[in-house]
Structure 1
Amino acid sequence: MPDFNRCPVVDNHCHVLEPEKKTMEPIWLAREFFHGIADTPIPGVAKPKLWGATDDLLFHFPHMGVVLTVVCQLAMVFGCEPELSTVTAERNRRTAKVGLAGYAKMLYEDAGIVCSVMDSNLPINDPILDLTPGPKIRLLQMDPLFKTLLASSGSYAELLRAFQAGVEKAIRQDGFVGIKSHLGELVGFGAAPVEADEAERHFSAAAAGDGEAFKKVYMAIWLATMVQAQELKFPIHIHTGITGGLWNGPVANTDPFLLVPILRQPRFLLTRLVLLHAGHPWMQHAGMMAHTFPHVWVDMGWTTPWTSQRIVACYRDVIGLAPLSKLMIGSGGHGSPEVSWLAAKTAKIAVGEVLTDSVRLGLMCEKDAEKAGRMILHDNAARMYGLHS
């Protein structure tokens, strides 16, 4: 039966590691996997997940399914007792000895992560990126560029010219391989398309801070970027589903099915669009989108590893519908290296279980299962970005 333990992995979506995570308290290792709202607001702290927590809330963090998984998996690597305090002490001992980068290197080698697609506008030689082991390629973050140029432009036409020039420079000169965007959170997938003339009418209000006008202009720039992506041959990555957190708007605005009216337009059929986070909890919707639209792909990040206790079922939902050549493994990893490492480990478990069942049931030949697993874990991303094995 298929065995993917030694298969290389491309982490198709992750963030930078943070130097301050070299040493962690057990509760903060658990909180690395918390994407909810803490219950004690702290003035000046924007992210609710980083607010203070009462004892009642602190009690729950170690009992999240994904935390139980990271404890279990770390204990197997460390050869220690599977207790949160024990594995945290051992990881801190190792980071003290070899540094955060050295510890991350050990974990990435254990999981077989051979390349990381970084959601970061940092220069490729920035020391922060050096904390992440191995080869790295970057996604240009759309939102900071858009907001900066919105403030400095005098019209929508000027904004569009400057934005597209910035994108072209990033792709052609600075080595970025794609763009990451937040259409769902900032506008909503179900919003009506906005063309240049309408965006021009709303530009002044958007620049002045009007929220509804901002949505109009953002949508217009996003649609123009969908066309530019074809010209420059780069993929657009877009948050779908719960995206790992909550925001000030209807969560249902990120159901991938809401993109259908836009994606069915002939002008966008050749744009490569990557649905980050697999649309969780609308994973079957994401899989169906990849099946239906010629250049829609699904990235299993956030779902991997956060849904650890039902990760096999989540993978079945997508594998059952999407072409297996359009699936990639991401993590959404950030802060500490355990997130990306655990994503690769649990992805191998899930892919192995699903494809082994397919072989056992006579739904797939073993040689095809072995090929499909390697494609999902590595080859599909390598083909998208032109990586060499």
Structure 2
Amino acid sequence: MTDVASTVPLVDHHCHGVVTAELDRPGLEAIISEGGAPPAGETNFDTPVGLAIRRHCAPLLDLEPHAPVEEYLARRFELGTAEVNRRFLAPTGTSRYLVDTGHRPDGLTTPEEMADLTGTPTSVIVRLESVAEAVAADGVEPGEFAQRFAERLAAATAEPGVVGVKSVAAYRTGLRLDPRRPSPSESTGAAARWLTAGPGESGWRLADPVLQRLTLWAAVDLGLPIQFHIGFGDSDIRMTDVDPTLLTDWLHLHRVPVMLLHCWPLHREASYLACIYPHVHLDVGSVLHYVGPRRSIEVLAEAAEVTPFTRLLYSSDAYGAPELYRLGALNFRLGLEALLADRVGSGEWSVPDAERFAHLVAHGNAERVYGLPAAS
């Protein structure tokens, strides 16, 4: 078997920027866990991802593997954020980043800054809810909301570098949505309720099921790939409402590419959908750096059980901490290497087939679906 898994270029089809400010220990701990800052008396370094950071990230800071937390942090602070970002992102072997700028972008690198930092091209994913919230913030009559949203979304996705959109319905309403396109009267009524209620303490937040449907159908009309958060996430998630099979009836109504992100522990349900529907694709995203290197092998293998290899992709979903980019790429490569070795070793696949599948999953599928240039 060749070393294709360790050398194949990666297209990270869903990620965020990295922090640009100097982080103290509480700031770093808060962004290496979906649960946020740990409670008093605990530390996020006593988690699988915390231990993986000390094992696999410490050497990139010129430290021994498993360096004590205090030593790791001291070295990190000594080098400074800019150098730490460079050290962790450079060895990932990523040929392009698709950056979602919709989640707390303040203090993170923009896609342009990400390109400057890494010397790697970036593309942009537009978040549907952010566009709707911007329309509300600008002021709009309820009867005009649907048209104004569609126009704003079309303008946003026409910007240079935009290759897709994303829905965070999983965090806002869950996925138990009526699959049908909302009628004009439904949309106007829902917009009136939302706009009349006004913004909350943190601003406008779209969490109405009718308006959520409106955003999805506007995205379908544009024909760009639509990313969905699925499964693993922060405390806004209700796991019973983010099963990707809840989208089944909606999937019957169009053929626009649907990209299921993260998916664990529902990655087998996502794999089933990708097996049945030719426009459904998936990755296992951020869970790879949360479960650790060895378990990543099993998770990726489970996701690949029935998924066509033309519909499985790579993403890190890294946010803020550059360590998460390092772990995402490392764990994906370990899982891919184990998958290929198992299939070739058992005689199920030839070496040329294994190498071809590696290139599809690592970058080729993303390049095809999003219309990206091929990795060099």
Normalised by the shorter chain, which TM-score bucket?
A: 0.7 to 0.9
Equivalent in the alignment of 1:204: 192
User: Which range moves more in the overlay, 82-91 or 325-334?
Assistant: 82-91
Q: Alpha carbons of 1:105 and 1:228: their partners in 2 closer, same or farther (altered >3 Å)?
A: same
Structural mapping, 1:312-331, within 5 Å: 312-331=297-316
For 1:271, the equivalent position in structure 2 comes to 256
Structure 2 regions of 5+ residues with no counterpart?
201-205
Q: Distance in 1 between matches of 2:70 and 2:119?
A: 26
When residues 171 and 81 of structure 1 are mapped into structure 2, their CA distance, relative to the original with a 3 A threshold, is closer
2:280 match: 296
Give the Cα–Cα distance (whole angstroms) in 1 for the partners of residues 95 and 75 of structure 2: 24
In 1: Cα distance, 2:210 partner to 2:132 partner: 10
- In structure 2, what is the Cα distance between the partners aligned to 1:130 and 1:17? 12
Match of 2:47 among 35, 39, 64: 64
The 3 A distance-change label for structure 1 pair 130 and 286 is same
Alpha-carbon distance, 1:179 to partner: 0.8
1:210-229 aligned within 5 A: 215-229=208-222
Instruction: Tell me the equivalent position of 1:9.
Output: 10
Note closer, same or farther for the CA distance 1:23–1:186 as it changes in structure 2 (3 Å cut).
closer
Deviations 1:122-147 (A, max 9, x none): 89676577445521111112112112
Work out whether residues 160 and 221 of structure 1, in 8 Å CA contact, stay in contact via their aligned partners in 2.
yes
SS of residue in 2 equivalent to 1:335: coil
One-letter identity of the residue aligned with 2:186: E
Identify if the C-alpha distance between structure 1 residues 371 and 125 changes in structure 2 by more than 3 Å, giving closer, same or farther. closer
Q: Does residue 348 in structure 1 map to residue 333 in structure 2?
A: yes
Residue 97 of structure 2 aligns with which residue? Answer: 116
In 2 relative to 1, CA 79–202 (structure 1 residues): closer, same or farther, beyond 3 Å? Answer: closer
Shift of 1:11: 1.4
How far did residue 274 of structure 1 move? 0.5
* 1:160 aligns to 2:146 (yes or no): yes
Q: Deviation per CA, 1:98-131, whole angstroms, max 9, x where unpaired?
A: xx34432332232212211111168967657744
What one-letter code is carried by the residue in structure 2 that aligns with 1:343?
G
- Indicate conservation of the 8 Å contact 2:17/2:111, yes or no: no
CA deviation digits over 1:243-267, x for unaligned, max 9?
Answer: x2121x63211111111111112xx
Q: How far is 1:189 from its partner? A: 1.1
Contact 1:229–1:235 (Cα < 8 Å) also in 2: no
Cα distance in 2 for residues equivalent to 1:92 and 1:103: 9
CA distance in 2, matches of 1:330, 1:133: 18
Tell me the secondary structure at the aligned position of residue 334 of structure 1. Answer: coil
Q: Does 1:280 align with 2:280?
A: no
Matches within 5 A, 1:1-389: 1-3=1-3, 4-20=5-21, 22-25=22-25, 29-36=28-35, 49-50=36-37, 53-55=39-41, 57-58=42-43, 61-77=44-60, 78-83=62-67, 84-95=69-80, 100-120=81-101, 127=113, 130-131=116-117, 133-151=119-137, 152-156=139-143, 158-193=144-179, 195-196=182-183, 197-209=185-197, 215-230=208-223, 234-242=224-232, 244-247=233-236, 250-265=238-253, 268=254, 270-277=255-262, 279-308=263-292, 309-385=294-370, 386-389=372-375
Are the equivalent residues in 1 in contact too, given 2:122–2:161 (CA < 8 A)?
A: no
* Mapped contact 1:333–1:339 kept (Cα < 8 A): yes
Note the C-alpha offset of 1:23: 4.4
Alpha-carbon distance, 1:275 to partner: 0.5
Seen in structure 2, the aligned counterparts of structure 1 residues 368 and 54 have a Cα distance that, compared at 3 Å, is same
Q: Which amino acid aligns with 1:245?
A: D
For 1:154 and 1:23, how far apart are their aligned partners in 2?
43
Identity %: 22
Please give the TM-score of this superposition, normalised by the length of structure 1. Answer: 0.83
Query: What amino acid is the match of 1:322?
Result: T
Contact 1:142–1:181 under 8 Å retained in 2: yes
Measure how far apart 1:180 and its partner are. 1.3
Determine the C-alpha separation between the residues in 2 that align with 1:108 and 1:219: 35
Gaps of 5+ in 1: 37-48
Q: Contact 1:206/1:217 (CA < 8 Å) preserved in 2?
A: no
Q: The residue matched to 2:174 in structure 1 has which SS?
A: coil
Taking a change above 3 Å as real, the CA distance of residues 223 and 9 of structure 1, as seen in their structure-2 partners, is closer
- Normalization by structure 2: what TM-score? 0.86
Deviations along 1:171-225, one digit per CA (max 9) or x if unpaired, are 22343111111112212212223512322233311222399x9523323323322
AA aligned to 2:12 is D
User: Is the Cα–Cα contact under 8 Å of residues 126 and 165 in structure 2 kept in the other structure?
Assistant: yes
Shift of 1:30: 4.6
Q: Partners in 2 of 1:79 and 1:128 — Cα distance?
A: 26
CA RMSD of aligned residues (A): 2.6
How far residue 281 of structure 1 moved from its aligned partner, in angstroms, is 0.7
Aligned residues: 357
Post-superposition offset of 1:369: 1.1
CA offset at residue 312 of structure 1?
A: 1.0
Distance 1:383 1:87, change over 3 A: farther
Q: Letter of the aligned partner of 1:33 in structure 2?
A: I
| Cα distance change, pair 200–14 in 1 and its aligned pair in 2 (3 A) | same
Residue 70 of structure 1 aligns to which amino acid in structure 2?
A: I
Q: Distance in 2 between matches of 1:166 and 1:202?
A: 19
